[in-house]
Every structure is written in C-alpha cells, then in structure tokens.
C-alpha cells in the first residue's frame, strides 16, 4: 500500500510537470496549423511558451485584491482533476472538479466591475449550462458499459474499447469539446481574436502573471480533455492517443471554417444535438442491458 502511494505520487508529479509542456506544444502546433490553413507562415512552435514567460515577467496589476485567488483556484482544481485522471479515479467527481475550476475563473471575471469581463462571465456560465449535462451523460455512458465510475475500470481486462458501445456519446463529446476549448463557432466568452465586441471577455481584467496562469490552466485543460477522449479507446492506448490527436485536428478545422454563433443558437443546438445524441446512446445501452 505504501509502495502504491509512492508510485501514485510519482505518476502524479510527472504528469503535473509534463502536462503543461505537452499542452503548450500542442497549442503551438495549433497556432502553426491554423496559420497554415490561413495561408500564413505562423509563429514558432514554442510561441505559447514565449508568451507565457513574457507574461510572467510583466508588472503585476490588479483591479481588486481577490482576482489572484480565483486564478489560483482555476489552476489548482484543473491540476486536481488531471491528477484524478492519471490516477484513474472517479470520473464523475473529476467532472465536478473540472467544473469547479471553470466556476472559479467565472467568479474571478465577475469579481470586477467591468462590463466586458462580466458579460464574458455570463456567457461562460451559459456555455457551462450547455456542455455540463453532456459531460455527465458521457460519464453515465461509461458507467453503463463498464459498470463502474472508476476510470481504472476502463483499463480493466474485461472491457473492450468504449467507442464500440458509445459512438454517439463520443460524437456528443467532440461537440462539446469545441465549446470547452473555446473554439469557433463557440468562442464567445473570450472572443479569441482581438478587437471584438467583448474586448477579451472573461480574461479582460486579468493581466501579466494572472493571464499567464490562466494560459497554463488552459494547457492543463487541453491535456485533460484529450485524455478523456483517449478513454474511448483505452486499449491499446496508442490508438486512443491517435484518435485524440485526430479529434484535436478536427477541432482546428472546425475553428477555421466556422463563424461565431449566438448563445441562444448554441444552447439549442447543444441540447438538441449533444444531449440528444448522448441520450439516444444511453437509452439503447439501457435497453440492451435489460434484455
């Protein structure tokens, strides 16, 4: 048991260090591919790291004393859910903690009397309302296939790849991935191209080191989400990783070919398509189980 604990701690530490490096490189590749798709040359792959360190070196400015607290919450709870993922813990709790991480950022954005950051926060809340049910339904789908909420059960001998049983849930998950990564057509809480109606939405009032930590959290988030995709094809794991990377590429394509939608449209579409697809999948699994 003690041995096990040490091993777990080592795994956790390795991932806590490795995830932002991987995440940063992936977002560098993201920017490069996006640039190539737009017929541009694009920044160096290491650009996200340059941005990160530059931001760390900036002067610390703030609007009130509490902003940094929320940024810390955003970061720590993202790390906590990453650790839960790599230690193969309860998937449902992982989703709750991941949600907490987002709520913390929303609180930070709302703690400031700034119109832009407030509206960004409201939009982020609406986004959460749209994607959170789908994430939980995905967890339920995993339960119905493996009879357990533990991620470790996905890796156990007796279960085949989840993708065979959960194709529609997988589709729904890809759908909400676009929202979760704040990619077009659902990038309306931060509007990630400058000079738009929301300035920078959620992150308007964060600057310097605060913004750097938010960026860092974003890399963690990216790795967690890609890790969750990997679960759909956990054995052999390299197939899962390829599927995750292909899905990420797909997100980039969608990001580049679509314009931003309104939040009403997003809620309706996500509930109809996302929840609809996931529910259909769950109902058929349920009926299959009954027989």
Partner 1 sequence: MGVISKSRKKSPWVIHYDCTSCNGCDIETLACLTPMYDVERFGIINVGNPKHADVLVVTGSVNKRNVRVLKNIYNQMPEPKAVVAVGACACTGGIFKECYNVLGGVENVLPVDVFVPGCCPRPEAIIDGIVLAMDKLDEKAKKMKEEKKKANQSVKV
Partner 2 sequence: MNEYLLLTVAILLPAFSALLCYALRNKAVRSFIVVLTSLAMFGVAGGFVNLLLASGGTLKIGVDAHIIGWVIKVLDLLLMGYILYIGFTLRKYLVVVLTFLQLIPLILFEGGLLFGTPHESEIAFVIDYLSLIMILLVSIIGPIITIFATGYMEEHEHHLGLKKSKQPRFFMILFIFLAAMNALVMTDNISWMYFFWEVTTLCSFLLISHDGNSESVKNALRALWINLSGGVAFISAIIAIYSVYGSLSITEIIEKTKTGGFVGIIPLAIGLLCFAGFTKSAQFPFQSWLLGAMVAPTPVSALLHSSTMVKAGVYLVVRFAPAYANTMLANIVAVVGAFTFLAGSAIAISQSNGKRVLAYSTIANLGLIICCAGIGSKVAIGAAILLMIFHAVSKGLLFLCVGTIEQEIGSRDIEDMQGLAKRMPFTTFVIVVGMISMLLPPFGVLITKWLAIEASVNSPLVLLCIVLGSAFTVVFWSKWIGIILTMSYKNSYKAEKLDFSVRSALSLLLVGALAASVLIMPLYNIFIAPHINSLNLADKAAGLAGSNGGVWLQGVGNITTGGFAAIPVFLLLFALMLLIPYFMRKTKAERIKPPYLCGENVDNDVRGLQFISPADKVDVVVVRNYYLTGMFGEGNLTLWCNALAGAIILVMFGVVI
Contact status: 50 vs partner 1 (CB under 8 A): yes
- Using DSSP's 3-state secondary structure scheme, residue 159 falls into coil
Both tokens of 105, joined, read: 């950022």
Contact status: 154 vs partner 1 (CB under 8 A): no
Residues in 196-225 that interact with partner 1 by CB under 8 A: 196, 199-200, 203-208, 211
Residue 272: C-alpha distances to residues 7, 176, 240, 256, 278 (Å)? 44, 12, 27, 24, 10
The span of 47-55, 122-130, 159-167, 188-196 binding partner 2 (CB under 8 A) equals 122-130
Closest to partner 2 by CB, 118 vs 218, is 118
Q: For residues 104 and 13, what is the distance between their CA atoms, to the nearest angstrom?
A: 23
Any idea how long the chain is?
A: 291
Sign of CA dihedral 271, 272, 277, 281: positive
Contact status: 167 vs partner 1 (CB under 8 A): no
From residue 183 to residue 222, the character string flagging contacts with partner 2 as x (rule: CB under 8 A) and all else as - is ----------------x----xx-----------------
Non-local (6+) Cβ contacts of 129 within 8 A are 267
**Is residue 236 reached through a cis peptide bond, with omega within 30 degrees of 0 on the bond before it?**
yes
Q: For residues 280 and 110, what is the distance between their CA atoms, to the nearest angstrom?
A: 36
Q: For residues 164 and 172, what is the distance between their CA atoms, to the nearest angstrom?
A: 15
Closest to partner 2 by CB, 34 vs 122, is 122
Contact status: 39 vs partner 1 (CB under 8 A): yes
Contact status: 30 vs partner 1 (CB under 8 A): no
CA 39 to chain centroid, in Å, comes to: 28
Contact status: 44 vs partner 2 (CB under 8 A): no
Size of site (CB under 8 A) for partner 1: 34
Size of site (CB under 8 A) for partner 2: 70
Residue 171 site contact among partner 1, partner 2, none (CB < 5 to 8 Å, cut-off depends on kind): none
Residue 126 site contact among partner 2, partner 1, none (CB < 5 to 8 Å, cut-off depends on kind): partner 2
Residue 193: C-alpha distances to residues 21, 50, 105, 262 (Å)? 24, 19, 20, 16
Contacting residue, 10, 14, 61, 257, with partner 2 by CB under 8 A: 61
Q: For residues 112 and 67, what is the distance between their CA atoms, to the nearest angstrom?
A: 8
Residue 118 site contact among partner 2, partner 1, none (CB < 5 to 8 Å, cut-off depends on kind): partner 2
Query: Using CB atoms within 10 A of its CB, is residue 141 exposed (0-12), middle (13-18) or buried (19+)?
Result: buried
- Using DSSP's 3-state secondary structure scheme, residue 185 falls into coil
Which spans of this chain sit near partner 1 (rule: CB under 8 A)?
31, 35, 38-44, 47, 49-54, 56-61, 194-196, 199-200, 203-208, 211
User: Which residues of this chain interact with partner 2, rule CB under 8 A?
Assistant: 4-5, 8, 59-66, 68-69, 72-73, 76-77, 80, 83-84, 87, 89-90, 92-93, 96-97, 99-100, 103, 106-107, 109-118, 121-122, 125-126, 128-129, 132-133, 136-137, 139-140, 143-144, 147-150, 199, 204-205, 264, 267, 275, 279, 282-283, 286
């Amino acid at each position: 048991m003690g041995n096990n604990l040490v091993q777990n701690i080592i795994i956790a530490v390795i991932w806590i260090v490795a995830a932002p490096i991987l995440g940063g490189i992936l977002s560098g590749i993201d920017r490069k591919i996006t640039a190539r798709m737009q017929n541009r040359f694009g920044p160096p792959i290491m650009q996200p790291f340059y941005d990160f360190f530059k931001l760390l070196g900036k002067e610390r400015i703030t609007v009130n004393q509490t902003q940094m607290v929320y940024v810390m919450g955003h970061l720590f709870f993202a790390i906590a859910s990453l650790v839960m993922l790599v230690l193969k813990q309860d998937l449902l709790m992982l989703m709750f903690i991941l949600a907490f991480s987002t709520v913390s950022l929303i609180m930070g954005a709302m703690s400031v009397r700034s119109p832009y950051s407030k509206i960004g926060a409201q939009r982020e809340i609406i986004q959460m309302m749209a994607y959170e049910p789908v994430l939980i339904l995905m967890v339920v789908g995993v339960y119905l296939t493996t009879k357990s909420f533990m991620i470790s059960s996905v890796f156990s001998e007796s279960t085949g790849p989840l993708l065979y049983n959960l194709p529609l849930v997988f589709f729904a998950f890809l759908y909400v991935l676009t929202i979760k990564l704040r990619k077009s057509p659902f990038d309306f809480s931060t509007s990630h191209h400058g000079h738009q109606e929301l300035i920078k939405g959620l992150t308007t009032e964060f600057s310097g080191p605060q913004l750097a930590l938010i960026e860092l959290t974003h890399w963690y988030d990216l790795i967690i989400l890609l890790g969750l995709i990997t679960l759909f094809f956990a054995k052999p794991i390299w197939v899962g990783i390829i599927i995750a990377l292909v899905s990420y590429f797909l997100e980039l394509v969608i990001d580049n070919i679509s314009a931003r939608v309104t939040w009403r449209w997003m809620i309706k579409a996500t509930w109809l398509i996302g929840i609809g697809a996931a529910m259909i999948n769950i109902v058929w699994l349920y009926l299959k189980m009954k027989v």
